[in-house]
Amino acid sequence: MKTLQQIAFILIALLCTQSVFCQKNEYNVIPKPVSLKPVSGQFIFNEQTRLFIDKGLGKEVAGALFVLSDRLNTAAGINLQTTDSPKSNVIVCKLNDKLPNKESYILYVAGDKITIEAREPAGFFYAAQTIRQLLPTIIESETRQKNVKWTVPCCKIEDSPYYRYRGMHLDVCRHFSPKEEVMAYLDQLAFLKINKFHWHLTDDQGWRIEIKKYPRLTEIGGFRNRTMMGHYSDVPRRWDDTRVGGYYTQEDIKEVLAYAKKRFITVIPEIEMPGHAIAALAGYPQYSCSGGPFEVEGRWGIFNDIFCAREETFGFLQDILDEVAELFPGEYVHIGGDEAPKIRWERCHACQTRMKEEGLKDEHELQSYFVKRMGKHLTDKGKRFIGWDEILEGGLAPNAIVMSWRGNEGGIAAARQGHDVIMTPTYALYLDYYQSQLPSEPLAIGGYVSLQMVYEYNPTPKELTPEEAKHILGPQANLWTEYLPNRERREYMIFPRIVALAENGWLPQDKKDFRNFESRLPFLLERYDIMGINYSRAFFNVSGNVSVENGKLKLSLHTADPRTDIHYTTDGTKATPESPVYTTPISLGDRVMIVNAIPVKNGVVLSAPYNQQFISNKAAGQKVTVAPQPSKKYKGKGGLTLTDCILGRYPILGSQWLGFDKEDAEVIIEFVKPESVSKITVSSTHQPGQWIYAPQSVECFISEDGSTYKSIGILQHDAILKANNKAVIDMAPVTIKKIKADVRNFGVIPLGEQGGGHKAWLFLDEIIAE
């Protein structure tokens, strides 16, 4: 006979395997709602679930829920019909005009009812996206799924974006994206509650928007005969002679705009001026200073021929802007303004005459005059206009919104002058930059912008007062496509960094938490798997972090997805899923070690391996002081960088080197326990092309008592160069408490060399004690 207790236990166990009662509620919404209170229980969608829309709300609200009803229809076969009597098994939409803004919403999920409150359709739309993300991931499927319980975990969410501008950009000039791909991109933005799409429509390599009055803009400017291959700096240059191109008719654009509107996305067209104009000039050379002829560019970069500042050009550009302003209903038009060399204007009679007549003191002021005129034209038409931060040079036009891309400085200056600002700095939000440091990354323009850098970037610079900070509209990430010829490659660069951008724009800085974000991201990636998106797996990469614990140097390995194991080797062989599982930090310094580590989930290797060689170094883990401080750009991890057992790599990665701009360096290593040492090596680099020179001299000292030093030798530049940029000093073994290295900067670079006449940089990667 079983006891009652035993029977009850068996019953509960049975229920747990079968039903929803014991299922753990997961709330992996991205961007993370500002407030989410978990509640036990679940709402379950089925054929009887109905939609009720409160009387006070307009028809658009039902439309705003389309993302949810479409998904339910396609994946679950549930047709979400409306009802007049909201009792149970219902989604209730209510007006709440006390919410902070039009994108805010409140979402209560209870066992028998989901209630959405919002002020405007956008809020209902975002609530629907949140419900979608709370449903099982398979809701993203394009085919009908059977035997799925369409559950939504109970909760109370109060949500509202921190920034009103959350933007993504797409360059369709360097490589064209057909309208279908643009629309798919818009779906992805909307899924993450991104509300601005910056469409970069004109550039040297292609003009992509039909302008009725000037058909040659697209007939000629829309296509190029050849495209450079490989990287811009490759020598010799190689060409792909295929004719490529494409453009959007005004009908196409209307279609995209309607698509965007339904997803509460404002589309911002960019018409570049006065620079990045070659494609336009190929069709209309009369608006250049020289008269041409020009060919649509197949090279990347910056070109000297720009729009001429003569009257006819203004007429031409105003006609174009008129058609653009008419076509695009949004309040913003972007007029470029970046990277416009002034050399043609300097030699152009018409431009020089205008400068004299208008009392402009240089070509920067002429650019400012240009932007002001075009800006005024748009302002008169009731539009607001945006320009890249170069529009600050020569004086900012009234009403201009500045897009700060060369760092935060332009944004700070503009906000201080009372102008609105969009923050899109290269160092944190350029998605054409590499996202991992693995050599297996496909070719990109350069730079390094990790998922974490996108996430942690603060769009509101600390330098601003609260009053000035109100001018920061929000962040935007840019996707320039020089090196991204197709959808697959673009997706690889966009995903998942766009996810970090979305949460960055949604949450205030103090609510962001990268580790927590990382724990939610894998669930979203499962959705991307179902959608067939080619996202980068760099997120799963094993990363290594070297730190000091109780005077010992340790390597800890990390992978973002908590459901992933790290398998590793330390003997130089390739790690496999059969290699040992990493559990505790690895001790470094005692011997040479090559750590190879892979992320493994359910027996599958998720990404390329982490591979790092560590040298043996008695200085590892000791106390290091460096004076003066290295340059901010190359400060690595301070003294630890010189004793982390990692020799620096090329191209130079900031974290592996300490760089000193024009200065000498003094390094002191203090041993926690005195050590017997017979050889000291100071390792540097010599890269004359980058103004980096091996030291003029290195002198090393030791201290046995910890206070007095004795010189053990000095080496000069030539000897250091000969020893592969290393200053190596041998001595009879002695037990010491301290090492001091006096490293002299090379000094002034000889004339005739790159950077001749300037003082050199000094770069150090390691000080090795053996």
Catalytic residues: 203, 276, 339
- Please report, for residues 132, 166, 172, 344, the alpha-carbon distance to residue 120 in angstroms, rounded to integers and kept in the order given: 19, 18, 32, 51
Q: Among candidates 160, 70, 271, which has minimal Cα distance to 511?
A: 160
Using CA atoms, how far apart are residues 182 and 758, in angstroms rounded to an integer? 48
Contact in structure between 499 and 8 (CB atoms under 8 Å): no
Q: What angle do CA 532, 535, 537 make, to 5 degrees?
A: 125
Nearest alpha carbon to residue 299 among 482, 528, 570? 482
| Minimum CB–partner distance for residue 432 and ligand TNX (Å) | 5
User: Counting contacts by CB under 6 A, is residue 388 touching ligand TNX?
Assistant: yes
Please give the full DSSP string across 502-524, using - where no structure is assigned.
HHHHHS-GGG--HHHHHHHHHHH
Q: How far is the CB of 476 from ligand TNX (least distance, A)?
A: 11
Q: Residue 434 interacts with ligand TNX (CB under 6 A)?
A: no
Query: Which CB, 252 or 338, lies closer to ligand TNX?
Result: 338
* 746 touching ligand TNX, by CB under 6 A: no
Number of C-beta neighbours around residue 450 at 10 A: 20
Least distance in angstroms from the C-beta of 75 to ligand TNX: 38
Largest pairwise CA distance in the chain:
107
End-to-end CA distance of the chain: 74
Task: List residues bridging with 90 in a β-sheet.
Answer: 50, 113
Task: Report, in Å, the least distance between residue 426 CB and ligand TNX.
Answer: 7
Among 445, 605, 606, 647, binds ligand TNX (CB under 6 A): 445
Our finding on whether 432 is near ligand TNX (CB under 6 A) is yes
The Cα 61–Cα 581 span in angstroms is: 52
Pick from 430, 535, 539, 763 the residue near ligand TNX by CB under 6 A. Answer: 430
CB closer to ligand TNX, 91 vs 401? 401
- Whole-number Å distance between alpha carbons of 543 and 438: 10
Amino acid at 715: L
Specify the residue, 422 or 473, whose C-beta has the smaller distance to ligand TNX. 422
DSSP state for residue 301 in the 8-state scheme: S
Which of 152, 191, 168, 247 lies closest to 66 in space, CA to CA?
Answer: 191
Residue 528 as a binder of ligand TNX (CB under 6 A): the answer is: no
Residue whose CB is less far from ligand TNX, 424 or 579: 424
Cα angle 337, 339, 341; round to 5: 110
Query: Which CB atom, from 136 or from 336, has the smaller least distance to ligand TNX?
Result: 336
Quote the least distance from Cβ 182 to ligand TNX, whole Å.
Answer: 18
Cβ–Cβ contacts within 10 Å for residue 83, how many? 16
**E-strand spans in 550-649?**
552-558, 565-569, 586-588, 593-601, 604-605, 610-614, 623-627
CA angle 557, 558, 561 (to 5 degrees): 150
Cβ–Cβ under 8 Å, residues 601 and 565:
yes
CB of residue 304 to ligand TNX, shortest distance in Å? 15
What long-range pairs does 112-117 form, CB within 8 A, spacing at least 24? Answer: 112/43, 112/88, 113/43, 113/86, 113/88, 113/89, 114/43, 114/90, 114/152, 115/91, 116/91, 116/92, 117/93
Residues 6+ apart with CB under 8 A from 766: 615, 617, 642, 643, 644, 645, 646, 647, 648, 681, 683
Q: Are 474 and 403 in contact (CB under 8 A)?
A: no
The least CB distance from residue 731 to ligand TNX, in Å, is 50
CB of 354 to ligand TNX, least distance (A): 25
Q: Peptide bond before 31: cis, by omega within 30 degrees of 0?
A: yes
Instruction: Report the residue number, 393 or 742, with the smaller CB distance to ligand TNX.
Output: 393
Distance of closest approach, residue 275 Cβ to ligand TNX, in angstroms: 9
Minimum CB distance to ligand TNX, residue 482 (Å): 6
Least separation, in Å, of the C-beta of 460 and ligand TNX?
Answer: 21
DSSP 90-115: EEEEEE-TTSSSTT-EEEEE-SSEEE
* Geometric angle at alpha carbon 474, from 473 and 477, rounded to 5°: 140
Which of 248, 480, 671, 761 binds ligand TNX (CB under 6 A)? It is: 480
Q: Return the number of the residue (297 or 482) whose C-beta is nearest ligand TNX.
A: 482
Residue type, 757: G
| Binding-residue total with ligand TNX (CB under 6 A) | 9
- Contact between 394 and 364 (Cβ < 8 Å): yes
Report the phi/psi class of residue 767: left, alpha or beta, with left for phi > 0 and alpha for psi in -120 to 50.
beta
**Residue number with CB closer to ligand TNX (277 or 720):** 277
Q: Which one, 268 or 626, has the nearer CB to ligand TNX?
A: 268
| Interface characters, 252-271, with ligand TNX (x: CB under 6 A) | --------------------
Closest CA to 617 of 642, 639, 595, 638: 642
Separation in Å, CA 352 to CA 71, 339, 758: 60, 20, 34
Nearer to ligand TNX, 432 or 491 (CB): 432
- Asked whether 29 and 61 are in contact (CB, 8 A), the reply is no
Least distance between ligand TNX and beta carbon 338 (Å): 3
User: What's the min distance (Å) between Cβ of 374 and ligand TNX?
Assistant: 16
Residues 285-344 within binding reach of ligand TNX (CB under 6 A):
338-339
Is residue 437 packed enough to be buried (19+ CB in 10 Å), middle (13-18) or exposed (0-12)?
middle
Choose, by CB under 6 A, the member of 43, 248, 370, 405 that binds ligand TNX. Answer: 405
DSSP state letters, 154-184? EEEEEE--S-S--EEEEE-SSS---HHHHHH
User: Which residue, 258 or 302, has its beta carbon nearer to ligand TNX?
Assistant: 302
Q: Please tell me the distance from the alpha carbon of residue 371 to that of residue 306, in angstroms, as a whole number.
A: 14
Binding site for ligand TNX (CB under 6 A): 338-339, 388, 405, 430, 432, 445, 480, 482
